[in-house]
């Protein structure tokens, strides 16, 4: 029963990470709509919470990538997942404390990779870098793995966010150049409610699935250590002999993220909505539409891209469409360095935690 109890602890820790993802990345979904005063902070977090939950139930492609497309599951135990999540929670809380919009997604990925290498006793082959996967229905072959699903999107999605937002902002400026400022603010103030809703849904769709994949991986890994024959019948729902995203996993992750979102990440909201660049409703509309569309497209393809990267670079793009000097470049540099260090830092933390647990005999 000790293995079962630890599995329950790990599931609680995974939900704890999901909660921190909610209040940490809530800012990504609502920073612009709050800073433009289209919605009050409480209205904004309520909107984001509801649509984070709805979005989290929208698919499983990203969850499958996280749970079965990045590391070799035969080396993964519930202790691996525990160390990965603790590293992610630490990084989320640290960056939230300093008001830096870092990526919860990359914190999760870095933690999983670092803990997996430690679990495999420094065998880097545990990381599924690149491999072909054949669709059983169509026979089409697609490349999977960390390189294709994480590294390439990690570089391309911020670039796309900046460029697309910059171009959209240019088109919108051309459309409204003869409008009265009060008309522009009124029209795009209303439109921003729609774009904020879209952004909230897209954040749930992209980020909600990530912890679903981790939870499913923990349940699958527990099959190797828990004696399910002696587990009470009312806990048998935890037994998943194959990797699958159970319905209760979807709901628990969706509700937990929504609860975290409702708490709000006010320090990060202030950073994105006020310190990075001054924006108006038209800028917020363009940034949210850009970020949400990239998240949706990547999520549908099973790519765990960063909500933070997408919306932050979109805000940078709309700011530069007005003038490049509008950006706070000192803050931009600080944000970019945090992004660079997120995966190595969480990977190192998770690796050390896993080695510590192995040294104490708690790794099986």
pLDDT at 346: 96
Mean pLDDT, range 110-133, rounded to an integer: 92
Specify the pLDDT at position 140. Answer: 77
pLDDT tens figures, 165-221: 999 999 999 999 899 989 999 999 899 999 989 988 998 888 778 888 889 888 888
Mean of pLDDT values over 155-159 = 91
Cα–Cα distance for residue pair 357/364, rounded to 1 Å: 10
**Each residue's pLDDT tens digit, 211-260:** 888 898 888 888 777 877 888 888 888 888 888 888 899 899 889 988 88
**From 98-112, 158-172, 272-286, the region with the lowest mean pLDDT:** 272-286
Quote the pLDDT of residue 265: 62
User: Model confidence over 274-305: pLDDT tens digits?
Assistant: 566 677 889 889 999 999 999 999 888 888 88
Listed in sequence order, the residues at least 6 apart from 91 whose beta carbon sits closer than 8 Å to its beta carbon are 102, 107, 110, 111, 342, 345, 346, 349
> By percentage, how much of the chain surpasses pLDDT 70?
94
Most confident of 263-267, 321-325, 346-350: 346-350
Torsional class of 246: left (φ above 0), alpha (ψ -120 to 50), beta (otherwise): beta
Q: What pLDDT band is residue 26 in, cutting at 50, 70 and 90?
A: low
**Can you list the positions of beta strands (E) in 101-199?**
131-134, 141-144
pLDDT at 35 exceeding the cut of 80: no
Other Cβ atoms less than 10 A from the Cβ of 53: the count is: 23
| pLDDT recorded at residue 15 | 92
For residue 153, what are the CA distances in angstroms to 6, 149, 307? 34, 6, 12
Closest by Cα among 282, 298, 24 to 165: 282
Higher pLDDT, 35 or 82: 82
Tell me the per-residue pLDDT of 297-346, one tens digit each, with 9 for 90 and over.
988 888 888 888 888 899 889 888 878 877 778 878 888 888 889 999 99
Residue 53 has a pLDDT of: 87
Residues 120-148 have a mean pLDDT of 85
Helices (H) and strands (E) in the chain, counts: 13, 2
pLDDT at residue 293 in the model: 94
Residue with tokens 């522009």: 184
pLDDT of residue 275: 62
Residue in the structure block whose two tokens are 């949706």: 296
Sign of the dihedral through C-alpha 166, 155, 62, 54? negative
- The mean per-residue pLDDT over the stretch 26-34 comes to 72
Domain ranges of the chain: 2-131+141-359
In the prediction, which pLDDT does 206 show? Answer: 82
In the chain, the N- to C-terminal Cα span, in Å, equals 14
pLDDT of the residue at 12? 94
């Amino acid at each position: 029963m000790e293995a079962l109890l630890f599995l329950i602890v790990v599931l609680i820790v995974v939900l704890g990470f999901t909660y921190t993802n909610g209040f940490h990345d809530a800012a990504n979904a609502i920073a612009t709509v709050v800073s433009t005063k289209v919605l009050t902070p409480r209205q904004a977090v309520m909107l984001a919470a509801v649509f984070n939950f709805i979005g989290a139930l929208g698919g499983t492609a990203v969850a499958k990538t996280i749970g079965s497309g990045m590391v070799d599951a035969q080396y993964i135990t519930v202790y691996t997942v525990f160390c990965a999540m603790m590293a992610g929670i630490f990084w989320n809380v640290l960056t939230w404390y300093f008001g830096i919009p870092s990526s919860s997604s990359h914190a999760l990925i870095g933690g999983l990779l670092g803990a997996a290498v430690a679990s495999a006793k420094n065998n880097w082959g545990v990381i599924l870098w690149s491999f072909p996967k054949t669709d059983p229905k169509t026979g089409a072959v697609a490349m999977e793995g960390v390189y294709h699903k994480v590294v390439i999107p990690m570089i391309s999605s911020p670039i796309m966010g900046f460029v697309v937002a910059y171009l959209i902002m240019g088109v919108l400026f051309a459309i409204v150049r003869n409008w009265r400022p009060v008309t522009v603010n009124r029209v795009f103030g209303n439109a921003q409610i729609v774009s904020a809703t879209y952004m909230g849904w897209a954040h749930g769709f992209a980020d909600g699935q990530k912890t679903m994949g981790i939870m499913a991986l923990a349940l699958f890994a527990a099959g190797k250590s828990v004696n399910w024959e002696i587990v009470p019948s009312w806990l048998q729902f935890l037994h998943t002999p194959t990797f699958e995203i159970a319905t209760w996993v979807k709901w628990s992750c969706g509700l937990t993220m929504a609860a975290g979102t409702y708490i709000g990440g006010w320090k990060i909201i202030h950073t994105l909505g006020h310190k990075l660049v001054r924006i108006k409703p038209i800028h917020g509309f363009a940034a949210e539409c850009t970020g949400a569309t990239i998240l949706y497209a990547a999520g549908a393809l099973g790519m765990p891209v960063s909500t933070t990267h997408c919306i932050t670079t979109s805000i940078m793009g709309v700011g530069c469409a007005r003038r490049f000097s509008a950006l706070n470049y000192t803050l931009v540099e600080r944000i970019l360095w945090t992004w660079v260090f997120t995966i190595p830092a969480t990977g190192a933390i998770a690796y050390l935690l896993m080695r510590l647990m192995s040294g104490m005999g708690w790794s099986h």
